[in-house]
Amino acid sequence: MLVGEITPGTSLSLCGARIIYTEDGVLRACDDYRCEEVYVKGVVGYRPAPPIHSPFRISDAVYIEFDKKILVNRGDVIWAHAPLEIILHHKNSILARLAPGKVKYTLVGNIIEGVIARYAKSKVARGFAQENEDPCMAHIAFYIAQGEDTIRGVPFNAAYSHLYTDNRGTIFYSLVEVHIKDTIIESRTTSKPPMEGLKRLKQIRVGRTGVFSLTAPVIAVERGWKLWPSLKG
Amino acid sequence: MAVAQGLESIGDLLVANITKIASAIATIIVGVIVAYVVRSSMRRTIGTRIPPYIYRPVENLVFYSILILAGILSLYPFGLSLSSLLVAGGFAGIIVGLAAQSSLGNIISGVFLVVEQPLRVGDPVMIGDITGEVVDVRVLSTLIRTWDGYLVRIPNQTVFNSIITNYSRTKARRIDFIIGVHYKTDVGKAIKSIGEYLDSNPYCLVNPPPEVFVDNYGDSSINIRIRCWTPTKLWYPAKIKLQTELKRTLEEKGIIIPYPQLDLHVRSIEPIIKIELKDMGDIKR
């Protein structure tokens, strides 16, 4: 469960992040990149959030690269997993943001008009599967609103996403609409839940808002855009 | 006597036109106040909402337009209309143009800089041999804050005619450096270790992928070139972190970064000075 509370005198390990809340009111939260210490009092809550702040606030976008290319048609819904970050908060004040696991970024599109995005690799499926290999990742559904092609991944605006949960504590991103055009793939983050029966998670100050679309040449998403062939093999 | 008469006539002229002069001065003062009030309210309202590289030129345009308008209006009480000013401006333009060639050149270059936008307020740039962040693009000059904190004023004409490198217009920048490893090192192991480190480093982008390869065989080391793309905003901290941590990473893997060294091979030793002892009989005794 990624939603809960910590009381003084307890410690917790959450998706690789370490949280220690001492009796004398010092909250120490560490991920792989930094530690934060705050004097607090009372119960401290934790909840997931879109991964746009930790360890660097450089992009609102997340790029999900699929394990294999997938052929999609208009009207399809495909499911994948997307990373999260953990927010520690006291009422409406954010105390710390933690990045579970290793963080990587990528460039989607060309070097001038492209987008820097948080990178994650995920299995992709045509239907929702409750089993999640990594409980620190959320389920995400992409609705193909336009076009037909094979795609390698989808960038989307995570800052505008809402998070939902079911009665088992599984986390879901709001639905992302994907438009596949001749040379670009465009994504539009909606506020709709990806399926019925989900409850919206209360979010605390999550970055910028507004309708946002990411555009990138299809080749960037399909084949992985490279400046020149990598020598790394 | 003549001087006194001259002063008297000037005095009479001033008295006769006192209301016009007062009106002109009042117009200019009001114009200046209005310009400052408008600028201040612009800063409060739209200044925080739109990017500085758009806002600053607009602010300058509005501010100086109000001042010029006030200047023109202040001449009306003396019977000078806009049309007569334009006619006079034609002649004056030639004279002023000749007298203020460089200033006009700077103004025109400033306009081109605003239109073409090779640099914007806040951009890290290199203009000629000056490197820093653009603080302001003004009517006559561009202000650059160098990385060591100095404020450099460069005339717009110089900026426009210079080679400008803008470091923030691309989404990613490359870090490129060489690290030398000992000749006895397993090169494959060294490349693999560096590659693993780059893969685990959040600063290095997944795509474009990092590159690690043997660049050349130096006098004292095998030189491995490391290339890693980072988000433009993180280039500097990434470069520092990479260069610092790579040494530690290699040392942990038992890979040696050698000192420059020179091997000297000596084939035979010939005596440089030959001392022959003769007539040593006395000394022996």
User: Boundaries of CATH 2.30.30.60 in chain B?
Assistant: 118-166
Residue B84 host element (H or E): helix B82-99
Give the pLDDT score at A210: 36
In eight-state DSSP terms, residue B118 is S
> Could you tell me the fold of the domain covering B118-166?
SH3 type barrels. (2.30.30)
How confident is the model over B163-175, as pLDDT tens digits? 999 998 899 999 9
Average pLDDT, chain A: 83
How confident is the model over A55-92, as pLDDT tens digits? 888 888 999 999 999 999 999 999 999 999 999 999 88
Helix axes B18-45, B2-16, angle to 10 degrees: 60
Give the pLDDT score at A218: 35
CA distance B132 to chain A (A): 21
For B211, which of A114, A115, A230 is closest by C-beta distance? A230
Please indicate whether, in this complex, the C-beta atoms of B205 and A116 are within 8 angstroms of each other. yes
For B171, which of A103, A104, A115 is closest by C-beta distance? A115
For residue B207, which residues of chain A lie inside 8 Å, CB to CB? 106-108, 119, 224-226
User: Boundaries of CATH 3.30.70.100 in chain B?
Assistant: 172-252
Lowest mean pLDDT among B203-217, B230-244, B269-283: B269-283
Residue B226 has pLDDT above 90, yes or no: yes
In order along its 233 residues, chain A shows pLDDT tens digits of: 788 899 999 999 988 899 999 999 999 999 999 899 999 989 999 999 999 888 888 888 999 999 999 999 999 999 999 999 999 999 888 999 999 888 999 998 888 878 899 999 999 999 887 776 677 899 999 999 988 888 889 999 888 889 999 888 889 999 999 988 877 888 888 889 999 989 998 876 544 433 344 443 333 344 334 433 333 32
Structure tokens at B146: 């160098």
Q: Does domain B12-99 have CATH number 1.10.300.10?
A: no
How confident is the model over A20-44, as pLDDT tens digits? 999 999 999 999 998 999 999 899 9
Sort strands A176-180 and A137-146 into parallel, antiparallel or unpaired: parallel
Please give the Cα distance from B141 to B128 (Å, whole number). Answer: 15
Please indicate whether, in this complex, the C-beta atoms of B170 and A226 are within 8 angstroms of each other. no
For residue B210, which residues of chain A lie inside 8 Å, CB to CB? 232
Contact (CB, 8 A) for B244 and B201: no
Contact (CB, 8 A) for B230 and B205: yes
Residue type, A182: D
In eight-state DSSP terms, residue A93 is E
User: Looking at chain B, which runs of residues are DSSP E strands?
Assistant: 124-127, 130-137, 141-146, 151-155, 164-166, 172-181, 211-217, 222-231
Give the pLDDT score at B90: 72
Please give the Cα distance from B181 to A135 (Å, whole number). Answer: 42
Give the pLDDT score at A22: 94
Give the pLDDT score at B131: 94
For A107, which of B211, B212, B229 is closest by C-beta distance? B229
Share of chain A above pLDDT 70, in %: 86
> Could you tell me the fold of the domain covering B172-252?
Alpha-Beta Plaits (3.30.70)
Contact (CB, 8 A) for B195 and B201: no
Give the pLDDT score at B1: 57
